[in-house]
């Protein structure tokens, strides 16, 4: 009898509607106004690659050991170096990073002995051309420069 | 003139997919129909084939780790766990207790994330649009924890061979506990929306029945098997990564229909919260990485490790020839095996039931095609 009454008065459907009604409360509504309001990504976020410079001298921290290129599963890092005649040390010449093939696994970052290569918190990597996805040393040191919009 | 032409035949062949919203990816099902009734189905897979198992043969053990995240991309953490456990078995090392506890927390969070996504899309296929929004809202909280922990939301690459790469961040325990407290009422909310709903019940009850015997014959695992009444969960049957320390139940149902699979998964989410709560209470101190050589070179041999992924038994079979690269990697994906039972489940049913059954099997095409 009770089940029949429940069925006639659509109790099960009203129950569901009450849930949706509860969730309409304006305090639960949230929209992120993306280009004007940028999301804060986590500190450990694996985004755009970055070649760090020594903050004091402005010189690259990379010592061209090639560990990142060996660690990369996609072999997308190419490092070229030259031996300095005076100090007998290897010096970095070029560093290319193909972000179009990168899967942001972070293995290059983990393998870097000097913390020169890092996956930074920048996440806007779009480019108009395929060639634009291949980053050279200058791009890696400066980082991407997405347009900033004001709200 | 032949006696019967195709015009006399009542059989109609219809392609469902590969571009169909409710095949959950690029699955093509060729349906043989008599009106609305299904006479037979034929699954065409391979649209997402990337040759992951072959790729493994040209990568080192550590390098292959990020690729397994891309098999079942809604449960990347579970995939990573299975692979790491398999290589650890080859190397004969075991992760430290601290690493094991964190692994359990993250895999169980991932189980919830996977089930929540399943619930949302399954309900959406059936026609209930609201749950998908609520489900994604809760899933977002889990993904935020993943992002904080390892820097990626979906293809996490959270575990490394021998333990973890990252120490847990400050406030990890509090965030996980807050999620557990927040999540349980939400499961009740989903149940309020669906469990007693008359449309939901009439669409799911007695649809796509697969009894225990058929489940075993097809090798079906996971919630689909448990809904048929078989008490089988690898976390209990052959515990790995310290699951024997936690107290939890394996929810089972008896009928093996779509509604039972729904309620098994809902209960599994609650049990996952229970495991997380126990694990997060006492994360042991200690190192997060076992002693693993920098260049991983397992001895000649083979190892098979299977874990209970959200979708069923996920197995990794690795053959090592003593070099830095695996000789052969074979993945036993739960979705691929579960999908084989589709024909059995929908034969004689209606077209609309196919949608419900594909939804309830919880397949991910990245894993089916590999």
Distance to chain B for A43, nearest Cα, Å: 7
- Give the pLDDT band of residue B295 (cuts 50, 70, 90): confident
Query: Would you state the pLDDT for residue B1?
Result: 55
CA gap A140, A39 in Å, rounded: 22
Question: Rg for chain B (alpha carbons), in Å?
Answer: 21
Would the pLDDT of B205 be above 90? no
For testing the chain A interface, which of B52, B54, B59, B63 should be mutated: the one with the most A CBs within 10 Å?
A: B63
Would the pLDDT of A7 be above 80? no
CA gap B90, A37 in Å, rounded: 49
Q: Across residues A91-115, what is the average pLDDT?
A: 87
Domain ranges of chain B: 51-338
For the record, the structure tokens of A2 come out as 């009770």
Burial class (CB in 10 A: 0-12, 13-18, 19+), B150: buried
Instruction: Could you please state the CATH topology (level 3) that the domain comprising B51-338 is classified under.
Output: Cytochrome-c3 Hydrogenase; chain B (1.10.645)
Query: Would you state the pLDDT for residue B6?
Result: 62
Using CB atoms, pick whichever of A16, A73, A110 lies closest to residue B193. A16
Contact A42 B196 (CB under 8 A): no
Would the pLDDT of B133 be above 70? yes
Contact B147 A45 (CB under 8 A): yes
| Contacts by residues B317-324 (CB-CB < 8 Å, ≥ 24 positions apart) | B317/B86, B318/B86, B318/B87, B318/B90, B320/B90, B322/B297, B322/B298, B323/B297, B324/B60, B324/B61, B324/B295, B324/B296, B324/B297
Contact A42 B198 (CB under 8 A): no
Would the pLDDT of B155 be above 60? yes
Whether the Cβ atoms of residue B234 and residue B217 lie closer than 8 Å to each other: no
Comparing alpha-carbon positions, the chain A residue that sits nearest to B69 is A105
Tell me if A32 is assigned to some domain: no
Lowest mean pLDDT among A25-34, B55-64, B178-187, B317-326: A25-34
Query: Would you state the pLDDT for residue A151?
Result: 57
| Chain A contact set for B68 (CB, 8 A) | none
Query: Would you state the pLDDT for residue B8?
Result: 67
Query: Would you state the pLDDT for residue B206?
Result: 86
pLDDT (tens digit, 9 = 90+) per residue, B333-343? 898 998 888 88
Would the pLDDT of A9 be above 80? no
pLDDT (tens digit, 9 = 90+) per residue, A122-136? 888 888 888 888 888
Q: Across residues B29-34, what is the average pLDDT?
A: 87
DSSP structure string for A33-56:
-TTTS-----TT---SEEE-B-TT
- Cα–Cα distances (Å) from B302 to A35, B55, B87, B370, in that order, read 51, 18, 9, 21
Q: Higher pLDDT residue, B259 or A89?
A: B259
| Chain A contact set for B62 (CB, 8 A) | 71, 107
Comparing alpha-carbon positions, the chain B residue that sits nearest to A110 is B165
- Give the pLDDT band of residue A11 (cuts 50, 70, 90): confident
Distance to chain B for A18, nearest Cα, Å: 9
Lowest mean pLDDT among B11-25, B174-188, B215-229, B281-295: B11-25
pLDDT (tens digit, 9 = 90+) per residue, B105-130? 999 999 999 999 999 999 888 888 88
| Chain B contact set for A42 (CB, 8 A) | 144, 147-148, 151
Tell me if A77 is assigned to some domain: yes
Distance to chain A for B215, nearest Cα, Å: 33
**Mean pLDDT computed over every residue of chain B:** 87
Residue with tokens 């560990």, as numbered in its chain: A67
Can you state the angle between helices B97-126 and B351-361, rounded to 10 degrees? Answer: 170
The interface predicted TM-score of the complex, written ipTM, equals 0.82
Backbone angles phi, psi at B51, to 5 degrees: 70, 45
Tell me if A33 is assigned to some domain: no
| Chain A contact set for B198 (CB, 8 A) | 7, 12-13
pLDDT (tens digit, 9 = 90+) per residue, B312-323? 899 999 999 888
Contact A44 B151 (CB under 8 A): yes
For testing the chain B interface, which of A23, A45, A70, A73 should be mutated: the one with the most B CBs within 10 Å?
A: A73
Q: How many CB pairs under 8 A join A and B?
A: 65
Would the pLDDT of A8 be above 60? yes
Q: Across residues B42-52, what is the average pLDDT?
A: 88
Is 0.80 surpassed by the pTM of this model?
yes
Query: Would you state the pLDDT for residue B115?
Result: 92
| Chain A contact set for B194 (CB, 8 A) | 16
CA gap B151, B102 in Å, rounded: 16
- Residue A65's domain comprises 49-142
Q: Report the domain count for chain A.
A: 1
Percent of chain B with pLDDT over 90: 14
CA gap A21, B237 in Å, rounded: 43
Q: Across residues B327-348, what is the average pLDDT?
A: 89
- CA-nearest of B176, B192, B197 to B112 is B176
Comparing alpha-carbon positions, the chain A residue that sits nearest to B145 is A42
Using CB atoms, pick whichever of B59, B155, B189 lies closest to residue A73. B59
Q: Higher pLDDT residue, B34 or B17?
A: B34
| Chain A contact set for B169 (CB, 8 A) | 43-44
CATH number, position A108: 3.30.70.3270
Lowest mean pLDDT among B59-68, B102-111, B192-201: B192-201
Tell me if A54 is assigned to some domain: yes
Residues of chain B whose beta carbon is less than 8 angstroms from a beta carbon of chain A are: 59, 62-67, 70, 130, 134, 144, 147-152, 155, 157, 165-166, 169, 189, 192-194, 196-198
Q: Across residues B231-248, what is the average pLDDT?
A: 87
| Chain A contact set for B193 (CB, 8 A) | 16, 19-20
For the record, the structure tokens of A63 come out as 């010592």
Contact B192 A16 (CB under 8 A): yes
């Amino acid at each position: 009898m009770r089940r029949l009454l429940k069925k006639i008065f659509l109790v099960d459907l009203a129950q569901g509607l009450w849930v949706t009604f509860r969730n309409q409360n304006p305090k639960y509504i949230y929209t992120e106004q993306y280009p004007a309001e940028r999301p804060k990504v986590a500190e450990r976020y694996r985004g755009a690659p970055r070649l760090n410079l020594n903050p004091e001298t402005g010189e690259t921290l990379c010592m061209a050991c090639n560990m990142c290129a060996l660690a990369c599963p996609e072999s997308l890092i190419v490092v070229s170096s030259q031996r300095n005649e005076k100090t007998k040390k290897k010096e970095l010449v070029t560093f290319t990073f193909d972000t179009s093939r990168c899967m942001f696994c972070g293995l290059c970052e983990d393998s870097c002995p000097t913390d020169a290569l890092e996956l930074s918190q920048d996440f806007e990597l779009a480019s108009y051309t395929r060639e634009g996805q291949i980053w050279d040393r200058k791009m890696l040191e400066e980082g991407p420069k997405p347009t900033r919009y004001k709200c | 003139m032949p006696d019967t032409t195709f015009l006399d035949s009542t059989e109609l062949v219809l392609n469902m997919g590969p571009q169909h919203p409710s095949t959950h990816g690029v699955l093509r099902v060729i349906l043989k129909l008599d009106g609305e009734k299904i006479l037979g189905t034929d699954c065409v897979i391979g649209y997402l084939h990337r040759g992951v198992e072959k790729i493994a043969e040209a990568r080192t053990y550590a390098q292959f780790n990020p690729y397994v995240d891309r098999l079942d991309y809604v449960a990347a953490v579970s995939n990573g766990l299975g692979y790491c456990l398999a290589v650890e078995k080859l190397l004969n090392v075991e992760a430290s207790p601290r690493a094991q506890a964190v692994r359990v927390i993250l895999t169980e969070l991932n189980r919830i994330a996977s089930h929540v996504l399943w619930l949302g899309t399954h309900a959406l296929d059936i026609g209930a649009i609201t749950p998908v929004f609520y489900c994604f809202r809760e899933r977002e909280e889990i993904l935020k924890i993943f992002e904080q922990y390892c820097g990626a939301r979906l293809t996490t690459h959270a575990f490394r061979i021998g333990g973890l790469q990252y120490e847990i961040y400050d406030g990890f325990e509090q965030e996980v506990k807050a999620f557990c407290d927040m999540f349980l009422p939400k499961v009740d909310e989903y149940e309020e929306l669906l469990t007693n709903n008359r449309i939901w019940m009439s669409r799911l009850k007695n649809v796509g029945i697969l009894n225990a015997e058929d489940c075993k014959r097809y090798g079906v695992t996971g919630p689909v098997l448990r809904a048929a009444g078989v008490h089988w969960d690898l976390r209990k049957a052959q515990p790995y990564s310290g699951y024997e320390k936690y107290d939890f139940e394996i929810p089972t149902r008896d009928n093996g229909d779509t509604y039972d699979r729904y309620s098994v998964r809902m209960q599994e989410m609650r049990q996952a919260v229970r495991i997380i709560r126990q694990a997060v209470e006492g994360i042991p101190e200690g190192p997060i990485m076992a002693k693993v050589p920098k260049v991983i070179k397992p001895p000649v041999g083979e190892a098979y490790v299977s874990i209970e992924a959200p979708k069923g038994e996920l197995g990794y079979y690795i053959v090592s020839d003593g070099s830095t690269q695996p000789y052969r990697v074979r993945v036993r994906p739960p979705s691929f095996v579960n999908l084989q039972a589709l024909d059995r489940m929908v034969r004689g049913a209606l077209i609309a039931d196919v949608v419900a059954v594909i939804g309830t099997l919880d397949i991910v095409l990245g894993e089916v095609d590999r």
